[in-house]
Amino acid sequence: MNVVGLTTSTADRKRRAGQRLIIGLAGTSLNEEERSFIRDAQPGGFILFARNVEEPRQVLELNRELASLLPSDLPPIRCVDQEGGRVQRVKSPATVWPPMRWVGNVGDLAYTREVGRALAREVRALGFDLDFAPDADVDSNPKNPIIGDRAFSADPGRTAAHVAAFVQGMQGAGCIACAKHFPGHGDTATDSHLELPCVEKDPPDLEQVELPPFQAAIDAGVATVMTAHVVYPAWDAEYPATMSPRILNGLLRQKQRFEGVIISDDLEMKAVRGRWPLHEQLSRASSATVDVFLACKDLTLVVDAWESLIRLQEEDKRQEDAAIDGVKRWHRLRERFLVPERAGAEPRPSLSILGSAEHMDLALRARVEGMA
């Protein structure tokens, strides 16, 4: 599998910039503007939302078409937010999973592992490679408007144990897992989709509450981590985690020894969009060791981000080095999960697995034993 060139040609810079983007689509099929951009930029991945979903076969065919537009040596990583509970993009006839809080309440790590495996099998049957799950946040603030029952627990140790089990189940079934939102979105009182949250806690409290689930995910081999658009003044009073070298490089890479792919939360979220110029956001995030950027809907923003990532490489050798490092990690992720002889995972299931009796029984157990 070809690693996008390590030379400094304009073509290589463009390909590296494209590979660092996971982009969203406007509807249930591609329009010509999207097709044109995909052929030009060769994005590293795609993400689908409810607006892109009619029914399972249409999702599978859309994912197949997206893969067909990219070179065979640069297969896209096709992504979805399929957590269960209120964050589930593909619903019936797929299994409608309960919130992970209910799964955590069951108190059976083997069960949590099986839920992760079952979710992975359904996601893979739909043509996806990466599920932005599990939520590794600790639900420590009752006023949090965005996390709540998406978290396994309000207890750090309990959350950590279930996060690790879920990651093991999901990745054991061949689906890339993502622990989010580093270093923790559970104690915010505002929604980063709408504004920039700030968590005013001292370092010992942050380290004891927020970090253990992410360390557990890393120890379980999680392949990707998503950043939080949240400010933690104890660590960095000026920039949110997505743009902070102290948090991402200092804590996640060095202290917690995460060597996988760091993915930004969506660049369209109001916590960051318009608060800093896009060029500065991308520059600071790249310096902080973000590898790949999510841009979930607006094609204008996607194009601007691609062009900015090209310019950053032209302007600063350190930015080019960061781009090279990011693309290398993205390729290692492909080799780990998309190359069958290396992945060692079960074959991609057929759509008949969606809503199977086994999976429905798993979902029912959480509703019976774990409903909060």
The pLDDT tens digits of the residues spanning 3-35 come to 554 567 899 999 999 999 999 999 999 999 999
- C-alpha 236/C-alpha 239 separation (Å) is 6
pLDDT recorded at residue 344: 57
The domains located in the chain, with CATH, are 19-301+317-344+351-362 (3.20.20.300)
Min mean pLDDT across 245-254, 333-342, 346-355 is at 333-342
Residue with tokens 């919130």: 99
Helical (H) or strand (E) element with 225 = strand 224-227
pLDDT recorded at residue 5: 45
Provide the mean pLDDT of the chain. 94
Which residues are catalytically annotated?
Answer: 193, 265
User: What are the pLDDT digits (tens) for 62-99?
Assistant: 999 999 999 999 999 999 999 999 999 999 999 999 99
User: What are the pLDDT digits (tens) for 139-156?
Assistant: 988 888 889 999 999 999
C-beta separation of 237 from 205 below 8 A: no
pLDDT at 371 over 90: no
User: What are the pLDDT digits (tens) for 170-192?
Assistant: 999 999 999 999 999 888 877 77
User: What percentage of residues in the chain have a pLDDT greater than 90?
Assistant: 88
Residue 178's DSSP bridge partners are 224
C-beta separation of 337 from 174 below 8 A: yes
pLDDT recorded at residue 145: 83
User: What are the pLDDT digits (tens) for 212-242?
Assistant: 999 999 999 999 999 999 999 999 999 999 9
Region 246-267: mean pLDDT is 97
pLDDT at 46 over 80: yes
- C-alpha 112/C-alpha 362 separation (Å) is 9
